[in-house]
A and B are shown apart, each in its own frame.
Chain A
């Protein structure tokens, strides 16, 4: 451990008005798993992109094995043995998984590549259908493919940005044992994940980034969760966040105290409110990936729908939110449904529009925002200002383009906008995917608050803990069918078994 394999020092990078990194340092030693922590927008992704050669720093030094280098492209980084697994997918949708894996591997024959891929799949438990076209895969399978692709190139340093966001707990565990194996083989692994307990469980050392700067680096064994959260958030609110965040919600490796989400989970006592009005119902609904779905959502309840990615949840979300009609069956849906789609970048926001325009995207449907012909920009701008202030969106102004915001801030814009619709129902699909503890806790708080105000909420999530913690009633989706979970099955193990039962059957 005398000399780090990679050393980043004083990295600065600015995007337009926004200083993403203002002096970040990171040392990666061979043989360690290094967890990078930080709030949304702290600069973690940018730092990883610098390391992966995707973003060149404005200033600061990069050393690989003691010699100063410039990483001008991912190719440069790969040539130095540094491999980045992307947060956003870089697969070719029209090609099969096998061909995509081949694209990443140079100098291998087709059969060798496939054999290597199969060996890796066997060893890591990251299974993907090799012959399927990537366009047919769900997000989970795409993520697995992405990770396999990087592993096949045998990097000295593997950098993973939110690799577990779309994996089941078992798959995440599988991935972590792979990462530990890699470290044991003398590789360096650097990792960002939004679930604090995951990072803590797998990392040997940790670096905390706050506001574009590295504020702490320490071996895992020498810091407490409370210290880490305090460093991530800065002063003041650390305790509150640590209490409400995802960390420690289920994992026994970390003790953070009881889980108490701001907004009051206790207020919505589970499934005692049977007498409430039915806000939406589906009967015998079929669609591309749905089979005979029956569902009833009542005012003031959080209806949780768990399931492994790609079992029909997205179709369900689109139908429940009125964005799509079922091919068969009866869907009784309120005229306006607030919707937090799972893909913020593609479906939730227009990346090229500013905040006002993104707010207008939904609000202009409301009668009070002007005539059918004109856009009342003055009023809409005011509304965007209100949302920015009330939901604490970190953005220079409402004229900032949405793509310049971090994931957490994008989600705040979407939530603020959808809540402003004052719809009787909200459909949220993986609303905390890729968000850090503070942002996750914030989103959960908003959902609970809404439910307590009488809004019917459908929470569709691949994060089992999230569903179990928030939902009054839980169903599981497997292979397009819906299975209601009885009170006695409502445990992590019980629901997990139902999820996996379907997941395995679909392969």
Chain B
């Protein structure tokens, strides 16, 4: 149905829907190289940010701040990569990524403390921190970290030692993709097998029962989850600059921190699900790029089609959930 709506919309706009669909498929999964170098590469930041959001949401922490955390992570990573150029290869890139993790976590610390100490809802504070993070990055590339030529709003390119190696030679796919998969595995393990993960899920599913039946220190769980979520979102930014762009630009992120929310929810807030949906969204963005280039469809139309696909998947997901049947509080046995 969505496809029908999208097709009608495209026709109303005067574009050929068949041509658009073909471009979409060609640009995302048209060939092995397209899939690896474009779709999977697009998926990497969505994967990290999606995992960050999924982790937080599982604990009932509504971290909408992945976008800002991603930007400060990128800033910190680039700064380390540009400053400590004397460090030998593996140490420099590791240090840069560590800086991203710390910066992302620190960015999340502010809303976390405001929530726990002052009782201010994290939805508002994380959104506001996004603006601060985004404009901090913008100021950096216009000011302190701007390239030495001083022409474009971007940093100098980082040295080779600060770059993540490529994962499959001859493609643009870098080690960050593998890191993300490993991280997803780790998170799945933590959630299902460890005490902390169990406490995290309990706090998310029922804070009252977590306290009364589980005697869980919910504040500690919320604080640690918030920090971990911010750290992972920060890593998304660090991996992007060390793995792909090798520099920080003003508009590094295409709203990945927000798309990550859809990625996480559609992935059922499960790490394995997030891998699938992040790659799906990566394909969508890759295909959208091809629609612009090959079918000549303007970016705004592409965004509309993308949004329709997301709505359709969300709708299907909800219908499926309703079929399975959630009848809370129903006396049934």
Which residues of A pack against B, CB within 8 Å? 15-16, 18, 20, 40-41, 43-46, 49, 55, 87-88, 318, 321-323, 339, 341, 343, 345-353, 357-358, 360-362, 364-365, 370, 372-375, 377, 394-395, 403-407, 409, 414
Are A404 and B210 in contact (CB-based, < 8 A)?
no
Interface members, chain B 142-184 (any A CB < 8 Å): none
Q: How far is the CA of A299 from the CA of B201 in the complex (A)?
A: 36
Are A349 and B198 in contact, CB atoms less than 8 angstroms apart? no
Chain A contacts for B332, CB-based, 8 A: 15-16, 18, 20, 41, 46, 404-406
Known: A348-B213, A361-B202, A362-B214. Is A55-B194 also a contact (CB below 8 A)?
A: no
**In chain A, what residue has the closest Cβ to B203?**
A350
Please measure, in the bound complex, the distance between the C-alpha atom of A20 and the C-alpha atom of B332, giving whole angstroms.
Answer: 5
Task: State whether A375 and B194 are in contact (beta carbons under 8 Å apart), knowing that A20-B332, A323-B215, A403-B329 are contacts in the complex.
Answer: yes
Task: Please tell me if the beta carbons of A15 and B214 are within 8 angstroms of each other in the complex.
Answer: no
18 A/B residue pairs, CB under 8 Å, sorted by A: A15-B330, A41-B332, A46-B330, A46-B331, A321-B212, A347-B209, A348-B209, A349-B206, A350-B205, A350-B213, A353-B205, A362-B214, A364-B198, A370-B195, A374-B194, A394-B333, A404-B332, A405-B333
Which of chain B's residues 291-331 have a Cβ closer than 8 Å to chain A? 324-325, 327-331
Q: A372-B195, A374-B193 are in contact. Are A350 and B202 (CB under 8 A)?
A: yes
Bound CA–CA A365/B201 (angstroms)? 16
**Cβ of B329 and Cβ of A18 under 8 Å apart?**
no
Rounded to whole Å, the gap between the CB of A331 and the closest CB of chain B is 15
Q: Is the CB of A349 within 8 A of B209?
A: yes
State A409–B332 Cα separation when bound (angstroms). 10
Q: Could you tell me the distance between the alpha carbons of A394 and B212 in the complex, rounded to whole angstroms?
A: 24
Bound Cα distance from A350 to B213, whole angstroms: 9
The total of interchain contacts (Cβ-Cβ below 8 angstroms) comes to: 117
For the complex of A and B, 3 pairs with smallest distance between CB atoms: A45-B331, A347-B212, A361-B214
A41 pairs with B202, CB closer than 8 A? no
Q: Which of A341, A352, A357, A374 has a CB less than 8 Å from the CB of B212? A: A341
A322 and B215 within 8 A (CB): yes
Please tell me if B208 contacts chain A, counting CB pairs below 8 Å: yes
Name the residue on B nearest A348 (C-beta): B213
- Chain B residue nearest to A347 (CB atoms) is B212
Min Cβ gap A487→B in Å is 34
A374 to B208, CA, bound (A): 23
On whether the beta carbons of A351 and B206 are closer than 8 Å, the reply is: yes
- Asked whether A350 lies within 8 Å of B333 as measured between CB atoms, the reply is no
- A21 to chain B: closest CB distance in Å? 9
Supplied contacts A350-B210, A405-B333, 10 more A-B pairs, CB within 8 Å = A16-B325, A45-B330, A321-B212, A351-B328, A353-B201, A365-B215, A374-B194, A374-B195, A403-B330, A406-B332
Contact check, A55 vs B206: say whether CB atoms are below 8 A apart: no
CB distance from B218 to the nearest CB of A (A): 12
Whether, in the assembled complex, B211 has its beta carbon less than 8 Å from a beta carbon of chain A, the answer is yes
A341, chain B: closest CB distance, angstroms = 5
Residues of B within 8 A of A20 (CB): 330-333
Please judge, given known A-B contacts A373-B195, A374-B193, A375-B198, whether A361 and B330 are in contact too, CB under 8 Å: no
Instruction: Please give the distance in Å from B249's CB to the nearest CB on chain A.
Output: 41
Q: How far is the CA of A414 from the CA of B213 in the complex (A)?
A: 9
Give the shortest distance, in Å, between B53 (CB) and chain A (any CB): 19
State whether A375 touches B331 (Cβ < 8 A): no
The CA of A45 and the CA of B327, in the complex, are separated in Å by 13
Residue of A nearest to B211 (CB): A323
Residue of B nearest to A41 (CB): B333
Give the residues in chain A near B331, CB-CB below 8 Å. 20, 40-41, 43-46, 87, 406-407
B325-A364 in contact (CB<8A): no
Closest CB of chain A to B70's CB: distance in Å?
Answer: 30
Residues of B within 8 A of A404 (CB): 330, 332-333
Asked if B333 and A352 make an inter-chain contact with CB atoms under 8 angstroms apart, the answer reads no
Inside 8 A of A88's CB, which chain B residues have their CB?
329
Residues on the B chain within 8 Å of A349, using CB: 206, 209, 213
Question: Which residue of B is nearest A404, CB measured?
Answer: B332
Q: Which of chain A's residues have a CB closer than 8 A to the CB of B209?
A: 346-350, 361
Complex CA distance for A176 and B197, rounded to whole angstroms = 49
Contacts of B202 in A (CB 8 A): 350, 353, 357, 361
Looking at B202, B205, B211, B325, the one whose CB has the most chain A CB atoms below 10 A away is B202
CB <8 Å contact, B195 and A339: no
Roughly how many angstroms separate A40 CA and B332 CA in the complex, as a whole number? 9
- Which of A41, A323, A357, A364 is B195 in contact with, Cβ under 8 Å? A364
Contacts of B193 in A (CB 8 A): 374-375, 377
Rounded to whole angstroms, the CA-CA distance of A414 and B212 in the bound complex is 12
Chain A residues within 8 Å of B197, by CB = 375
Q: How far apart are A232's CB and chain B's nearest CB, in angstroms?
A: 15
Q: Which residues of B contact A375 (CB under 8 A)?
A: 193-195, 197-198
Provide the bound-state CA to CA distance between A350 and B200, in Å: 12
Give min CB distance, B44 to chain A, whole Å: 30
Q: CA separation between A43 and B194, bound complex, in Å? A: 38
Name the A residues within 8 Å of B329 (CB-CB).
Answer: 88, 345, 351, 403
Q: Which residues of B contact A364 (CB under 8 A)?
A: 195, 198
Of A348, A350, A353, A407, most buried by chain B (CB within 10 Å of CB) is A350
* CB neighbours of B328 from chain A (8 A): 351, 403
Q: Which residues on the B side are within 8 Å of A16 (C-beta)?
A: 324-325, 332
CA distance A395 to B332 in the complex (A): 10
Q: List B contacts of A394 (CB < 8 A).
A: 333
For the complex, what is the distance from the CA of A194 to the CA of B206, rounded to whole Å?
27
Min distance, Cβ B204 to any Cβ of chain A, angstroms: 9
Cβ of B207 to closest chain A Cβ, rounded Å: 9
Minimal beta-carbon separation of A90 from chain B (angstroms)? 11
> Which single residue of chain A is at the shortest CB-CB distance from B324?
A16
> Which of B208, B212, B327 has the most A CB atoms < 10 Å from its CB?
B212
Chain A minimum-CB-distance residue to B329: A88
CB-CB under 8 A from A40, the residues of chain B are: 331
In the bound complex, what is the Cα–Cα distance between A375 and B325 (angstroms)?
A: 29
Q: Give the distance to chain A from B223, nearest Cβ to Cβ, in Å.
A: 18
Q: Which residues of A contact B215 (CB under 8 A)?
A: 322-323, 362, 365
Q: How far is the CA of A394 from the CA of B332 in the complex (A)?
A: 11
Task: Collect the chain B residues with CB atoms within 8 Å of residue A18's CB.
Answer: 332-333
Q: Are A15 and B327 in contact (CB under 8 A)?
A: yes
When the two chains form their complex, are residues B213 and A347 in contact, meaning their CB atoms are under 8 A apart? Answer: yes
B21 CB to nearest A CB, Å:
39
Nearest chain B CB to A56 CB, angstrom units:
11
State in angstroms the CA–CA spacing of A351 and B6 once bound together.
Answer: 40
For A49, the chain B residues whose CB sits under 8 A away are 330
Least Cβ distance of B83 to chain A in Å? 36
Asked whether A350 and B195 contact (CB < 8 A) given A20-B332, A409-B333, the answer is: no
- B195 near A55 with CB under 8 A, answer no
Contacts of A409 in B (CB 8 A): 333
Contacts of A358 in B (CB 8 A): 213
A407 to B208, CA, bound (A): 18
Q: Measured between alpha carbons, how far is A345 from B215 in the docked complex, in Å?
A: 16
